[in-house]
Amino acid sequence: MNDSLADLENKHKQLVMIGGKGGVGKTTCATAIAVHFARLGRKTLVISSDPTPSLSDIFEMEIGDHQTPIAGIGGLYGIEISSDVVLNMWRERFGAEIYEVISSFADVDYDFVDYIGTAPGIEEEYMLNYILGLVESKQFDLVVWDTAPAGHTLKLLHLPQIFLKHLEAATKFYMNIYSYFEKLKETVKLQKGKRTLLEIISSWEALAIKIVDFIRDQEKSEFIIVTIPEALGVRQTERIISDFDQYELMVNHMIINNVVKEADCSFHQARKAMQTEYIKILEDKYGDRIKLIQVPLAPHEIKGVERIEQVSEILFSK
Ligand SMILES: Nc1ncnc2c1ncn2[C@@H]1O[C@H](COP(=O)(O)OP(=O)(O)O)[C@@H](O)[C@H]1O
Ligand SMILES: [Mg+2]
């Protein structure tokens, strides 16, 4: 029995996130899903934040960090974005603000802003913030996000915690500097910053909470796991799902990719037997609450619109 993603067609989600280990077929599935919805007439953006550029390869055209219309598929746009670009946007958004506050009581140069930018969680939070900005801009009916490999995605879930911890430490650190300069107040004339540091920090905190609320909202967003029927794939999937459970985030669909369907030699028979065991583990463990969609291993790589559409057909078969 094979499930399908077809139930997503009448749900009108705004954001579909694709996660899983590196190399399992995330980008392939993300593009197949995006192409499918574009063909249904929904204006769709597929965005990849994986450091290994891949949309360009799959669509066989240059896709950069700006919305690029995908040739041959009306209503489909692509963006490939690196964390460098995202950090730069963060710097533009918050840099001046941070600098203004800190420099109002401490003699720091602008490099200090970059130092804060390297804090754990900032990159992930800003990536999500950027993507949420695209979703909320209502330029698209649907945004399909091909996330970076699992480790990264998981970090996003812990984000508020990681982030708040960091901010706590940072706040103490800045406050120490601040009180030090406060003591010198009599001798040194200090100007007052426009916004206090705590105000800025609590606005970041609010952002983190807003982001997690959006991801948790079943009306608006959906997270799809891609895996392969092998030990590593299964183990990583278990980790992702138990993390999701912990944060009360739902996974409704799992794509099991690279499944050997026809085995006409001993090599493929052995692989098929191995895969069958792992598929059974996934079915036993999740079959009652997650739709499991098998995608066969093709004899070729998945490149170009025609082959992507073959994958769409499998994913959305009725
Ligand atoms: N079902 C499949 N059959 C054959 N090749 C596949 C299949 N799914 C993905 N591939 C190929 O595997 C490679 C990795 O896929 P990709 O989607 O880039 O993985 P990820 O984004 O998870 O790193 C690509 O060369 C892709 O064409
Ligand atoms: Mg990829």
Q: Name the residue of 18, 147, 236, 301 to mutate for ligand 1: max ligand atoms within 8 A of Cβ.
A: 301
Helices (H) and strands (E) in the chain, counts: 10, 8
State in Å: Cα 50 to ligand 2 middle. 6
Question: Ligand 1 pocket: which residues have CB below 6 Å?
Answer: 22-28, 54, 257-258, 295, 297-298, 301-302
pLDDT value of residue 6 = 96
Domain residue limits, the chain: 6-85+125-155+217-315, 92-120+161-209
**Spatial distance between the Cα atoms of 150 and 22, rounded to a whole number of angstroms:** 7
pLDDT for 265 equals 95
Q: Name the nearest CA neighbour of 302 among 316, 313, 318, 293.
A: 313
Q: How far is the CA of 66 from the centre of ligand 1 (A)?
A: 24
- Residue 91 Cα to ligand 2 middle (Å): 26
The fold of 6-85+125-155+217-315 is: Rossmann fold (3.40.50)
Tokens standing for residue 164: 């708040």
Tell me: the pLDDT tens digits for 238-270?
988 988 888 778 899 999 999 999 999 999 999
Among the ranges given (21-25, 49-53, 197-201, 221-225), the one the predictor scored with the smallest mean pLDDT: 197-201
What is the distance between the alpha carbons of residues 176 and 33, in angstroms, rounded to a whole number? Answer: 51
Answer whether residue 178 shows pLDDT above 50.
yes
The region of weakest confidence among 12-21, 106-115, 280-289 is 106-115
Over residues 268-309, the pLDDT tens digits come to 999 999 999 999 999 999 999 999 999 999 999 999 999 999
Position 188 scores a pLDDT of 45
